[in-house]
Amino acid sequence: MAETQTPKAVILSFPYRRTGMRGFDDTILLSFRSNKPIKSILKTSGSGRHGTRSYKLFQGKYLVYQLERSNGGNLYAVVKIIRLGEDGKQQVETEWRVFDREPKITLNDLPGEIREILIANKDALPLFGEVFPFDDKWEDNIQEEGE
């Protein structure tokens, strides 16, 4: 009789930072199954300015929204698709540098499924309006495309 293995969860952790001088680092993972952010645990230092955001994940494909803003206000943002293997290793399937001190691509430049997930969760994604400054009429764009 063959034994069935239960899937093993892996913990992925990412740096978190929120300084008093506008500096900010965070990584939000979204599920392709639910199209929602994955629950995470944020542990911060006593001041709350530095810490780690951790996710308990199973093998699969995830959407990553990752950003960094320096104390000087320089913003860097990446959206990527990662695949997590059984061994817990991450493999980046596709990566879009959406902001690198200035906007590099707009929401409309991203594939439809990725764009829809990001827009549906914009309130849970930090600095969304700064990362996609030219997409303030995204609601109209989505409606026009769907018509």
3-state secondary structure of 24: strand
Report the number of distinct structural domains present in the chain.
1
Tell me the residue range of the domain where 18 lies. Answer: 10-146
pLDDT band at 48 (very low <50, low <70, confident <90, very high): confident
Is position 2 within any domain? Answer: no
Is position 3 within any domain? Answer: no
Strand partners, 66: 27, 78
Is position 43 within any domain? Answer: yes
**CATH number, residue 28:** 2.60.40
Look at residues 3, 24, 37, 8 and name the one whose alpha carbon lies nearest to residue 67.
24
Residue 141's CB is within 10 A of a number of other CB atoms, namely 15
HSE of 12, CA atoms in CB hemisphere, 13 A: 21
Length of the chain: 147
pLDDT tens digits, residue range 51-103?
A: 999 999 999 999 999 999 999 999 999 999 999 988 888 999 999 999 999 99
Under DSSP, the state recorded for 73 is -
Question: Which residue's structure tokens are 């594939």?
Answer: 111
Going 97 to 103 to 108 to 112, the CA torsion angle's sign is: positive
The lowest-confidence range among 65-69, 127-131, 140-144 is 140-144
Residue 147 scores a pLDDT above 80: no
